């Protein structure tokens, strides 16, 4: 099959025949087929695949490819064998998988999406566009490296630094042999455990560029990942300048004539030897600061040119730096074993048990800034200070993971390379402690800063070369890893300010490299890094602690996706590693620890405010999920004690009337939901129903749910959104109230807006639906809160004054009292006072009732004014009416309601007589007792009159919700409720459930 174009056709258009002469045709209803599953790639020598039936089932051309514009180009490199064979095999294979809805793009898009790569959603090509699909040919990327050159060598170069050459012997002299062994083991254990955690996370899945940032960010979230990642980047960038200055200083010490400016000379008096101060003056020459600046900038620029050349050039240059370093180490060991030579100082005794015994203990003392023992020195050294001095000698274990995007196999190379480099250098340090401790006297260890060069065979110049090349190699690795780390952070598109440092996959991060070089040059120009180097060490430790904490969290939660290939690990090891990092940070300097943590916290806060959310499924969300599951299991399904009761409102968003299409919920519902929570704690469930068939409206429900979630987030209301598709609102709510929630986390209060528009819109539907919702709540044992006057409900900026009036008619478990207290916790109602109105009949002892209610409220720790209001009973009203006495209240509303009910009742009777059946409303038989109807109307009228008399200026009125009378039409109940709420601007109609929500217990 030659490279060409396959034109897709619309239905009814002829389809070009393939080269084997067969034509595609649709599958008929009478076709039969036997499906045989075979591998995706044809086996050599296979010519066809059997398909029984009338004809081979062949796929129809895709409908999303339009003729005349979109062309599909097939890569010729994918064609194997003859064209006929390839076409026949391919068509047969596609025809088999067509019955399974197989999409050939799954091979490309599905696997890439699982590795975390962003894949654009496939879309139909437009007219005039050419669509090229290249199958099988891998995307060309940069060079990939294995374990040795990709991980082991970079880690070894970063770990073997200047501290070993010029400070390690001094550390042995100051701390003694046994404490030096403890020091090396302590720091080595920290990096080794971090290496174990790094290995476990790196072998749990595909790892892109960014090294520790990628691991921490995906485990602990983007905020933690970016904050620690940027600190680690800064640490690597400044560490590069430290290495450059170390190399330049060693070069100028070895060749003083190379200095362009005059050296600095420091005089030291009363040098401390053998524990006693000796008279005399020692002079110490140090290179000029300007020489360090000039040579440092030149060396940094040269290293940056190497870095700009790419990873391929870096790995070619790396052995040139590493091999002389290893050779210098060999020269040191040879010199130690053949010491003392004829020109050696007197303090070098050679390997001696006497020296080993004398140097076994520690001898901490004061020194000057150059490290020379001086009783008047300004620095006192102890074990904590030596930890800060030595720990940079074991850092560098992230050098390989920083270049993870350039590795062939990260899951194999990172564990082997990192742990091998860590164990190798730690063993070398431990062995060197014993050698140096037995090599010379303590005075020689403390006064000869370059003792390694003094004993090296055949000449000290080998050590100078080793120091220079080791520091330059470490600087090269820092300048290589830091830009890739910054580019990885920028590529995740979390912080828009970092977009300048993005780099495409496989490309060199030139912008990030230039920025890193500028930071390095700036620090080199400063010349003195004594004030910031402890903070840089803190950044490394902060990163190590983040890696350990990430692994600890993932291992402890043990999610199904946590399946690392690295088996030698346990969550306790990660926890110990994280604790070691924290301990070392505070041992070095608590002040610099606070500074580094403060900087990381500021970055975290900035990312949380300005950054974009990364959907990485971080470990914190998994921890919350696990905690929620365990809490739910511990709660069980038992009844919650009143002192532990929290309102979980189920809020019906659009039950009545119509809102604009882009408004998923009444704007004031979230404000009211927040008023039901104390200090914002608690959860609200916002639900809405869509009338129709679920299969047809599933996508509409998803869209509406996203809009509702955005509304909740905009209103800063803690809650979740749910959209239900049902044939009607009543059936949808009935499903919600039965199934929503789990265990004791089920919603316990249903919040619904009062249907004030029921007379104007859909007169027959709203009453039945409203009554159905209330009855469903009663059966499901849910409390009900009906909000009247939601349009006038105040938002968080509208402060209310006056009173919150409670008309406590029936016992509701204290829900009405609790709601009033929750309202007072909000700034909107905090200036209000609570009044409790107790409705009593005329023959009730008002004072006794008032005393009882006050005592009850006092025991509940609620402050409220109690008012007892007597109301004439229905029987008294009937007697007064028969005797000719006129009631105090206007009869207009009462008369209008009776007239409407009489009209409705007459029509219902005529219909039943005409059809010859019992009285039916909404499919249910009703029995109307007109005397009870009058009683309900009168009771509502008197209660409304009482509310208007005492609470016309109240901020909000709470009143008990009467249950719908049995066998009464829903229309009648709406008339009762209209009488109750008439002329009251803002009212909450509350019905409790068969549980107490307040208690006397603390």
Distance, CA of 236 to CA of 215 (rounded, Å): 17
Q: What is the pLDDT of residue 169?
A: 92
Residue 367 pLDDT more than 90?
no
Q: What is the pLDDT of residue 926?
A: 74
Neighbouring residues of 868: CB distance < 8 A, sequence distance ≥ 6: 837, 838, 840, 844, 846, 847, 849, 850, 853
Q: Specify whether the backbone of 967 is left (phi greater than 0), alpha (psi in -120 to 50) or beta.
A: left
Q: What is the pLDDT of residue 475?
A: 87
Hey, how many other C-beta atoms are within 10 angstroms of the C-beta on 796?
A: 13
| Lowest mean pLDDT segment, chosen from 223-232, 640-649, 825-834 | 640-649
Q: Tell me the C-alpha to C-alpha distance, in Å, between residue 732 and each of 69, 747, 769.
A: 47, 16, 11
DSSP letter at 78 equals G
Distance, CA of 871 to CA of 949 (rounded, Å): 13
| 197-228 confidence digits (pLDDT tens) | 988 888 887 677 677 888 788 777 888 888 88
Q: What is the pLDDT of residue 580?
A: 94
DSSP letter at 142 equals S
| 267-325 confidence digits (pLDDT tens) | 555 454 444 555 555 555 667 888 888 999 999 999 988 888 877 787 778 778 888 88
Assess contact for 318 and 403: CB atoms under 8 A: no
**What does the pLDDT average to over 701-714?**
88
Distance, CA of 438 to CA of 339 (rounded, Å): 11
Q: Which two tokens stand for residue 35?
A: 């499906």
Q: What is the CA radius of gyration of the chain?
A: 41
DSSP letter at 145 equals B
74 band by pLDDT with thresholds 50, 70 and 90:
very low
Distance, CA of 620 to CA of 221 (rounded, Å): 7
| 488-534 confidence digits (pLDDT tens) | 888 888 888 888 888 877 678 889 999 999 999 988 888 765 656 67
Assess contact for 723 and 654: CB atoms under 8 A: no
Bridge partners (DSSP) of residue 486 are none
Q: Which two tokens stand for residue 1001?
A: 């217990």
Distance, CA of 614 to CA of 602 (rounded, Å): 19
How much of the chain, in percent, has pLDDT values that exceed 70? 75
Assess contact for 76 and 3: CB atoms under 8 A: yes
104 band by pLDDT with thresholds 50, 70 and 90:
very low
Q: Is the dihedral of CA 376, 377, 383, 384 positive or negative?
A: positive
Q: Which two tokens stand for residue 777?
A: 């709540």
Assess contact for 650 and 736: CB atoms under 8 A: yes
Buried/exposed 361-395: b ≥16 CB within 10 Å, e otherwise? ebbebebbeebbbbeebeeebeeebbbbbbbbbbb
Residue 81 pLDDT more than 80?
no
Q: What is the pLDDT of residue 503?
A: 82
Q: What is the pLDDT of residue 76?
A: 41
91 band by pLDDT with thresholds 50, 70 and 90:
very low
Measured between its terminal Cα atoms, the distance across the chain in Å is: 84
Backbone angles phi, psi at 284, to 5 degrees: -120, 125
Alpha carbon 237 to its chain's center = 27
Q: Is the pLDDT higher at 419 or at 935?
A: 419
Q: What is the pLDDT of residue 425?
A: 93
How much of the chain, in percent, has pLDDT values that exceed 90? 15
Q: What is the pLDDT of residue 284?
A: 56
- Bond preceding residue 340 cis, omega within 30 of 0: yes
Distance, CA of 789 to CA of 783 (rounded, Å): 20
- Closest by CA position to 512, among listed 211, 520, 246: 520
| 227-275 confidence digits (pLDDT tens) | 888 988 988 888 888 889 888 888 888 888 888 876 655 555 545 444 4
**What does the pLDDT average to over 575-596?**
90
895 band by pLDDT with thresholds 50, 70 and 90:
confident
DSSP letter at 558 equals -
In the block, which residue shows the tokens 């105090």? 888
Q: Is the pLDDT higher at 258 or at 618?
A: 258
Bridge partners (DSSP) of residue 921 are 924
- Whole-prediction pTM: 0.63
Residue 9 pLDDT more than 90?
no
| 535-572 confidence digits (pLDDT tens) | 778 888 999 998 898 888 888 877 666 778 776 667 88
**What does the pLDDT average to over 630-656?**
75
Neighbouring residues of 647: CB distance < 8 A, sequence distance ≥ 6: 676, 677, 682, 748, 749, 818, 822, 997
Distance, CA of 645 to CA of 997 (rounded, Å): 6
């Amino acid at each position: 099959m030659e490279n060409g174009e396959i034109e897709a056709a619309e239905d009814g258009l002829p389809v070009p025949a393939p080269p084997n002469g067969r034509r595609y045709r649709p599958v008929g209803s009478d076709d039969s087929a036997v499906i045989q599953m075979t591998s995706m790639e044809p086996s050599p020598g296979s010519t066809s695949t059997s398909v029984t039936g009338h004809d081979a089932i062949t796929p129809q051309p895709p409908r999303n490819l339009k003729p005349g514009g979109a062309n599909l180009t097939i890569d010729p490199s994918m064609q194997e064998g003859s064209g006929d064979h390839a076409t026949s095999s391919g068509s047969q294979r596609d025809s088999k998988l067509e019955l399974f809805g197989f999409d050939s793009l799954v091979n490309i898009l599905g696997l890439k999406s699982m590795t975390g790569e962003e894949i654009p959603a496939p879309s139909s090509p437009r007219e005039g566009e050419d669509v090229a699909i290249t199958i099988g040919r891998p995307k060309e990327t940069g060079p990939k490296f294995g374990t040795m050159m990709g991980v082991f060598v970079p880690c070894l170069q970063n770990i073997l630094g200047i501290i070993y050459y010029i400070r390690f012997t001094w550390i042995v002299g100051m701390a003694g042999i046994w404490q030096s062994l403890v020091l090396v083991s302590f720091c080595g254990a920290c990096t080794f455990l971090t290496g174990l955690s790094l290995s476990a996370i790196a072998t749990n899945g595909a790892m892109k560029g960014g090294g520790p940032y990628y691991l921490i960010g995906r485990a602990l979230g983007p905020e933690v990942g970016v904050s620690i990642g940027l600190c680690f980047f800064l640490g690597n960038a400044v560490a590069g300048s430290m290495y450059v200055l170390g190399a330049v200083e060693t070069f100028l010490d070895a060749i003083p004539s190379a200095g362009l400016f005059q050296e600095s000379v420091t005089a030291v008096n009363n040098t401390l030897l053998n524990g006693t101060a000796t008279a005399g003056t020692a002079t110490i020459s140090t290179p000029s600061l300007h020489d360090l600046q000039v040579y440092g900038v030149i060396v940094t620029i040269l290293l940056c040119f190497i870095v700009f050349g790419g990873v391929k050039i870096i790995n070619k240059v790396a052995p040139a730096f590493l091999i002389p370093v290893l050779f210098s180490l060999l020269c040191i060991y040879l010199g130690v074993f053949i010491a003392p030579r004829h020109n050696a100082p007197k303090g070098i005794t050679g390997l001696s048990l006497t020296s080993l015994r004398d140097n076994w203990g520690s001898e901490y003392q004061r020194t000057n800034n150059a490290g020379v023992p001086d009783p008047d020195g300004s620095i006192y050294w102890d074990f904590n200070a030596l930890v800060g001095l030595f720990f940079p000698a074991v850092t560098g274990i992230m050098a390989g993971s920083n270049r993870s995007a350039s590795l062939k196999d990260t899951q194999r190379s990172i564990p082997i390379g990192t742990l091998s480099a860590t164990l190798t250098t730690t063993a070398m340090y431990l062995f060197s402690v014993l050698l140096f401790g037995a090599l010379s006297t303590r005075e020689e260890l403390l006064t000869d800063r370059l003792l390694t060069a003094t004993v090296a065979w055949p000449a000290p110049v080998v050590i100078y070369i080793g120091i220079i090349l080791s520091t330059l190699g470490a600087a090269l690795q820092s300048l290589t890893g830091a830009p890739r780390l910054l580019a990885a952070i920028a590529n995740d598109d979390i912080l828009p300010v970092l977009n300048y440092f993005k780099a495409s996959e496989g490309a060199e991060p030139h912008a990030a490299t230039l920025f890193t070089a500028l930071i390095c040059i700036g620090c080199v120009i400063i010349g003195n890094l004594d004030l910031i180097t402890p903070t840089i060490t803190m950044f490394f430790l902060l990163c190590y602690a983040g890696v350990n904490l990430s692994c600890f969290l993932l291992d402890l939660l043990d999610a199904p996706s946590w399946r690392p290939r690295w088996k030698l690990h346990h969550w306790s090891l990660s926890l110990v590693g994280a604790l070691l990092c924290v301990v070392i940070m505070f041992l070095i300097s608590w002040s610099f620890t606070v500074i580094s943590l403060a900087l990381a916290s500021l970055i975290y806060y900035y990312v949380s405010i300005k950054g974009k959310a990364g959907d990485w499924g971080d470990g914190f969300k998994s921890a919350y999920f696990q905690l929620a599951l365990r809490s739910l299991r511990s709660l069980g399904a038992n009844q919650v004690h009143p002192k532990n009761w929290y309102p979980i409102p189920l809020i019906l968003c659009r039950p009545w009337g119509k809102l604009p299409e882009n408004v998923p919920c009444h704007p004031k519902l979230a404000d009211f939901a927040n008023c039901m929570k104390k200090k914002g704690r608690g959860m609200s469930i916002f639900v809405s129903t869509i009338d129709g068939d679920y299969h047809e409206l599933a996508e509409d429900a998803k869209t509406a749910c996203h809009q509702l979630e955005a509304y909740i987030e905009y209103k800063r209301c803690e809650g979740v959104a749910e959209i239900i598709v049902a044939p009607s609102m009543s059936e949808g709510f009935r499903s919600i109230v039965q199934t929503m929630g789990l265990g004791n986390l089920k919603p316990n209060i249903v919040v619904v807006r009062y249907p004030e528009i029921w007379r104007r819109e859909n007169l027959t539907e709203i009453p039945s639906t409203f009554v159905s919702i209330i009855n469903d709540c009663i059966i499901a044992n849910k409390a009900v809160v009906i909000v009247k006057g939601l349009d006038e409900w105040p938002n968080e900026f509208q402060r209310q004054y006056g009173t919150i009036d409670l008309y406590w008619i029936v016992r509701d478990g204290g829900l009405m009292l609790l709601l009033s207290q929750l309202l007072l916790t909000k700034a909107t109602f905090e200036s209000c006072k609570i009044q409790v109105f107790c409705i009593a009949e005329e023959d009730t002892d008002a004072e006794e009732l008032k005393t009882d209610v006050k005592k009850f409220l006092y025991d509940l720790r609620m402050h409220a004014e109690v008012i007892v209001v007597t109301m004439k009973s229905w029987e008294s009203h009937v007697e007064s009416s028969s005797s000719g006495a006129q009631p105090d209240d206007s009869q207009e509303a009462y008369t209008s309601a009776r007239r409407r009910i009489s009209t409705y009742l007459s029509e219902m009777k005529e219909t039943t007589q005409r059809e010859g059946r019992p009285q039916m409303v909404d499919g249910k038989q009703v029995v109307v007792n007109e005397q009870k109807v009058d009683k309900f109307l009168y009771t509502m009228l008197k209660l409304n009159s009482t509310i208007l008399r005492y609470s016309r200026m109240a901020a909000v009125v709470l009143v008990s919700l009467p249950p719908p009378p049995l066998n009464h039409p829903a229309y009648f109940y709406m008339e009762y409720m209209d009488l109750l709420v008439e002329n009251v601007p803002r009212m909450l109609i509350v019905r409790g459930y068969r549980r107490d929500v307040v208690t006397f217990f603390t």
